[in-house]
Amino acid sequence: ISKRCGTFTDSVIRRMTRICQKYNAVNLSQGFPDFDPPRELLERLSQVAYEDYHQYSITWGAANFRQALAEKQSKLMGRKISPEGEIVVTSGSTEAMMAAVLTVTNPGDKVVVFSPFYENYAADAILSGAEPVYVNLIPPSFSFDKDELEEAFRLHPKAIILCNPSNPCGKVFTEDELRYIGDLAVKYDVFVITDEVYEHIVYSPNHHVYMASLPGMWDRTISCGSLSKTYSITGWRLGYVIAPSFIIDNVRKVHDFLTVGAAAPLQEAAVTALNFGNEYYEDLQDKYTHKRDLFLQGLDRIGLKHTVPQGAYYVLVDISEFDYDDDLKFCEDLASVVGVGAVPGSSFFKDGKVKQYIRLHFAKKDETLIEALDRLSSIR
């Protein structure tokens, strides 16, 4: 067994899903919806089964999927994205991120990661032979210290990973913050690898700004995205990388040998979703705003202290008032005794050192959230 395998564990997020299944707990740990994807998308999926999409698509993505995605993202990102040269379709943004890090780093290179962070990034760096350098996002606003960030850039990292809107803290980076990060990336010649899977789940008055759309940033930004959260299809594993062609040419090679390609029939069906009009995204925003408010009000009623997300669908609940040293043990007890699944916050923080939070998500039917809140109220 390689030494590399000794340097990281399996995903705690996904482990918690297995624990929830064992105890029949309401699973607010791994972030995925329990409601249906849009009906039109499902109808198209059922037709596709009888059409000719059962063999490999082009490695870097079916032409009509890339065309539809390029049209959608060009409008959002304010630049004409070439479906031919600037997109690779991947097996989820998990593969997109892995391929991006493998494409730009050499073994021994440093990669800046904000902490708290989505747990895949450390594994992406380690699997590439790169070394994560962490910069704190400081609660309660989860803003960063400018000097601490520049300090990290002075180590001459190859890339910075930017999750915006951020999992798990719900931060939406402001344009000023993005410009500050972008200016440092230019000054120190660093790539920015974004994870923007929550681009459409942002709560008013916050709004999402694409790093790649800022002046001077297109040439050094590798934008990773996904259809999972936007269309409630986490199991379809459809993600993508968007970047300038000199990067994409290389992401294609990495992707080719990682997975050959994303599932062809699912790409074909998903074109329907990529062609949805603005109304779909407005409704999605309204739906998640309602769920966030329902869930946060419930936590307030129970008297649990929590973050207020500006985007994405996660809440960090502060458990310091409870008599636990170990947040994993807290989550195990929460699943087995209270019947609610959460992710121990330590899995998102540098070196697992911060143990005062658990992460809950609210991408669930209202009735599921109400049931979870009802169960949570018994912890008092």
CB of 51 to ligand GLN, least distance (A): 29
Q: Which residue is nearest to ligand GLN (CB)?
A: 31
Closest CA to 221 of 345, 365, 104, 355: 104
Residues touching ligand GLN, count (CB under 6 A) = 7
CB of 345 to ligand GLN, least distance (A): 12
CB of 154 to ligand GLN, least distance (A): 31
CB of 358 to ligand GLN, least distance (A): 13
C-beta closer to ligand GLN: residue 118 or 357 = 118
List phi, psi (to 5°) of 84.
-80, -45
Residues 108-127 that bind ligand GLN (CB under 6 A): 118
C-beta closer to ligand GLN: residue 27 or 103 = 27
Residue 251 burial (CB < 10 Å; 0-12/13-18/19+)?
buried
C-beta closer to ligand GLN: residue 31 or 182 = 31
C-beta closer to ligand GLN: residue 13 or 247 = 13
CB of 361 to ligand GLN, least distance (A): 7
Spatial separation of the C-alpha atoms in residues 305 and 320, rounded to whole Å: 9
C-beta closer to ligand GLN: residue 14 or 329 = 14
Residues 31, 83, 182, 339: which binds ligand GLN (CB under 6 A)? 31
Contacts of 346 (CB under 8 A, 6+ apart): 327, 328, 352, 353, 354, 355
CB of 92 to ligand GLN, least distance (A): 7
Closest CA to 159 of 181, 185, 195, 190: 190
**Vertex 257 angle, CA 253 and 258, to 5°:** 110
Closest CA to 73 of 217, 192, 268, 226: 226
C-beta closer to ligand GLN: residue 81 or 270 = 270
Q: Which residue's entry shows tokens 């719900």? A: 170
SS3 state of residue 238: strand
Closest CA to 74 of 235, 236, 213: 213
C-beta closer to ligand GLN: residue 58 or 127 = 127
Spatial separation of the C-alpha atoms in residues 73 and 230, rounded to whole Å: 13
The arrangement of strands across the sheet holding 357-361 comes to 314-318, 357-361, 343-344
Spatial separation of the C-alpha atoms in residues 332 and 167, rounded to whole Å: 21
Residues 27, 167, 194, 356: which binds ligand GLN (CB under 6 A)? 167
301 lies in the site for ligand GLN, by CB under 6 A: no
H/E stretch holding 226 reads: strand 221-226
14 lies in the site for ligand GLN, by CB under 6 A: yes
Spatial separation of the C-alpha atoms in residues 368 and 295, rounded to whole Å: 10
Intra-chain end-to-end CA distance of the chain, in Å = 46
CB of 343 to ligand GLN, least distance (A): 7
30 lies in the site for ligand GLN, by CB under 6 A: yes
CB of 116 to ligand GLN, least distance (A): 11
Residues 79-108 that bind ligand GLN (CB under 6 A): 94
Spatial separation of the C-alpha atoms in residues 63 and 84, rounded to whole Å: 8
DSSP 212: G
Residues 12, 13, 41, 269: which binds ligand GLN (CB under 6 A)? 13
DSSP 221: E
Cis peptide before 205 (omega within 30 of 0): yes
26 lies in the site for ligand GLN, by CB under 6 A: no
C-beta closer to ligand GLN: residue 14 or 156 = 14
182 lies in the site for ligand GLN, by CB under 6 A: no
C-beta closer to ligand GLN: residue 13 or 98 = 13
Residues 32-61 that bind ligand GLN (CB under 6 A): none
C-beta closer to ligand GLN: residue 217 or 241 = 241
H/E stretch holding 15 reads: helix 12-23
Residues 204-223 that bind ligand GLN (CB under 6 A): none
Residues making contact with ligand GLN (CB under 6 A): 13-14, 30-31, 94, 118, 167
